[in-house]
Structure formats: C-alpha cells, structure tokens
Amino acid sequence: MTSSPLPADTAPAISDNGSVNSGLSIWRLLPLAVIALMSGLGATVWMARAGEVCLIGFLRAEQSVVYAPHSGRVESVQARSGEAVKPRQALIHLTDESLNQEISAKSREVASLQAALEQSRAKAEVQMSLQRKSVDEELLRTRLESAKFLREHYAANFEHVSLRNFAKGSSTTRWLAATPDLLSQPERIFDSIPTEPVVTPDEMKFSAVMRQELARNLAEVNKVQSELCDQHIAKLETLRESLPEMIRKAAGVDVAEAKLAQANEQLESLNQQKAAMSVTSPGHGIVGAYSKHVADPVGVGEALVTIHDRERPFVEVDVPSREVIKLQVGQTLQLDFAGEDRTGRVEFICPQAHTRNGESDSWITVRVRPAGKLWPEVAIGSAVAVRMK
C-alpha cells in the first residue's frame, strides 16, 4: 500500500505546530527547574546546619549605674535616653530646698562677718595712728634727752681731765697771784699782773680738786642717764614694731578674720554640695533609661540612670543545660543581627543554672564577646540569634 504525498501547503503548518509545542515544554519545565534549584539550596543549607541549635540572646553592654549623691528632687534632665555622652557631661540636675536655704543663710552670715571685720580693721587703723604718734613723740623726746646727757657727759669729762692736769702741775708750777675765787671768775686773771710769780694758794688747790671730783661724778651720771635713754629708745622701737599686732588683737581683728574664714569654708562646702547635685556621666557611653523623672523625689544613694559602654558590647544568651556541654570558653559562635551575620567568642559560662517562668527545664547564662568583624550598631537590648552546633 502506497501513501499519497501531502499537499504542499500543509508542510509549514506542521512545522509551526512543532515550534509551539517546543516553547510550551520549556515554560512547563522552568517552574520545575526553579523548584529543583530551591530544593537543592534548602538541602544544602539544611545539611550545613544539621545539628545546629538556634537560640535567642540579647545585646548588652558594660554599664555603670549612676547614683544620687544627695537627697532632693529632680529639677531637670539634661541628657536624653539613647544619647551618647562624654565623661563629666551633665545627665540630671537635682535640687534641695533645705540646702538652698542653708546656702542663703550662710551667705548672709558671711556678709555680716565681712562688715564686722571691716569695722574692726577701721578701729584698729585709728588706734594705730594715735598710738604710733604717741610712741613717735616719746622716741623724739628720749632721743633729745639722750643727746643732751651725752653732750653734758663729754663736757663734764673734759672739765674733769682739765682739772686733773691742773692739780698734778700745781705742786711744781708757780702761778700768778690771785684771789681764791679766781677759778670762778677767770676773766679777772688779767686785771693785775705781778712782776714775780707766786705759788698757788691752798684754797685754789682744794677748789680745783673738788671741782675735779664734781666733774667726774657729773660725767658718770650723764653717761648713765644717756645709757638709760638708749635702753628706753630700744624698748620704744620694739613697741613700735609690735604695735600693729597688739592693736589688731585689741580691736578683735584676728577673731573677726577667724570667724569669717570659718564661715567661708562652710559656705564653700555647701556650694560643693550644690555642685554635686548636678549628676554627671562617669565616662563615655550611651544613656539608658532613667528611673526618675522631673519633680520626682530622690533619696541619697538611689539609682538614677544607667550608662552603657558601647565600646564593650556582649550578647547574653540562655542555653539549655543539656546543650551547654557543647560549649567551652573561647569557642566561636555564629550570630545573626537582624540579617547581618557576625561571629562571637564565648567569654563566660555561668556555673549555676536557673529556671525561667516556672519551666521545668533549666538554663545556663552564657556571655559572648565580639570576634572578627565589628558588630553592627543596634539598640542595646535587641534580640540576636545565636547558632551553636
């Protein structure tokens, strides 16, 4: 049996139908290929993570708790939660009405003591001027008397030496004739000049000796009086030097200065307490949540806020006690920060287990520190996936 040939116009139609069927087959196979690819990837991931335990931990940071140095009331908050702060940056300011009243009363006391001190100093200046004038006048008078006594001492001493020489030479020397009162009236010695010298009368010798002794005694007395004046001058000069201190004490300047100094120290102490009412950050970090707000009362030593150190973050995760045997200090773990993979190293494994919410299972807290690439900047307390094999 022989087949009859197809018409020529049907050949293209058959060819077009074959192309259409081929295109439909490719589109039918494409979803299957995608499903197969995803299945392969899922199987690969499953095989890679076979035996892994995925736990949820929380990002923490080293923290410093800031306590109230003084009781009072919160006046203002100067750094918001989540704000980065530097050392000694103001966080919160407290106020204490009783402390403010003490500062006001002490300030008034300091002003009063300052006025009393100025008054005492003014009185001391007046007394100083009067006393110094009196001492200076006494010094001048004593110096003049000392000079007078010294001059009389030299004059008497000179007269004594002259009369002594006269007495020594009177026994061998011949003198002009004269009356016994010649020594008291020497201007009469030239009234009459005799031609022959005669020996000095005994009355004149005796008078010369007496006047010699009198001159010697007068010289000694004047010397002693001059020395007494010098001693008195030395005492007056010492008194003049010590006069300021004596008058200051007599006027109460020292007592007023001591009281003012004590009051100033007390005021400074109160101001330091007030300055301490401004609570500052102990170091660099992030401000956590405040436990007190504006107008809240605060007791001394009460916690106010926590400062988190972003430079020292860690992840804290609770591991089932049956799985903790897989961990050891220094072991590397995989972490997932909201889709960003990082690594961490086990730093600490708590030696004591605990339970959560009345569960029968026990948990052990593990602390994980950064290792490798820096961890992303996420909020403290964020959940972090921890994978362990």
Split at pLDDT 50, 70, 90, the class of 15 is: very low
Question: 342 falls in which pLDDT band (50, 70, 90)?
Answer: very high
Token couple for 104? 């006001």
Residues 14, 266: Cα–Cα separation, whole Å: 113
pLDDT at 155: 76
Residue 153 has pLDDT above 60, yes or no: yes
| pLDDT tens-place string over residues 65-122 | 999 888 889 989 999 988 889 988 999 988 888 888 899 999 999 999 999 989 888 8
Give the chain's radius of gyration (CA, Å): 59
Q: Which residues pair with 278 in a beta bridge?
A: 93
* Residues listed for the chain: 389
Residue 172 pLDDT > 60: no
Which contiguous run of DSSP H or E holds residue 77? strand 72-77
Rounded to 5°, the CA angle 53-58-61 comes to 135
Nearby residues of 49 by Cβ (< 8 Å), 6 or more positions away: 387
Please tell me which residue, 51 or 364, carries the higher pLDDT value.
Answer: 364
pLDDT-wise least confident of 142-146, 167-171, 255-259: 167-171
Give the pLDDT confidence score for residue 331 in this predicted structure: 92
Among 76-90, 143-157, 273-287, the minimum mean pLDDT is found in 143-157
pLDDT score at 42: 57
User: Taking the complete model, does pTM exceed 0.85, yes or no?
Assistant: no
**Are the C-beta atoms of 360 and 23 separated by less than 8 Å?**
no
Helix segments in the chain, DSSP class H: 11-48, 97-169, 202-251, 253-276
Q: What is the mean pLDDT of residues 272-299?
A: 87
Half-sphere exposure of 241 (CA within 13 A, CB side): 5
pLDDT at 41: 62
- Write out the two tokens for 281: 């950050």
Residues 6 or more apart whose CB falls under 8 angstroms from that of 136 comprise 240
Q: For the chain, report the end-to-end CA distance as a whole number of angstroms.
A: 76
Of 151-155, 157-161, 194-198, the least confident: 194-198
At 209, list the tokens.
């000796």
Q: What mean pLDDT is predicted for residues 16-44? A: 60
Angle at 367 between CA 82 and CA 383, to 5 degrees: 50
Burial call 354-380: b when 16+ CB within 10 Å, e when fewer = eeeeeeeeebbbbbbebbeeebeeeeb
Strands (E) located in 219-374: 278-280, 285-290, 297-298, 303-320, 332-337, 340-349, 354-355, 362-371
Q: How far is Cα 228 from Cα 55, in angstroms, rounded to an integer?
A: 108
**pLDDT digit string (tens) for 207-253?**
666 776 777 777 787 788 888 888 888 888 888 888 888 888 888 88
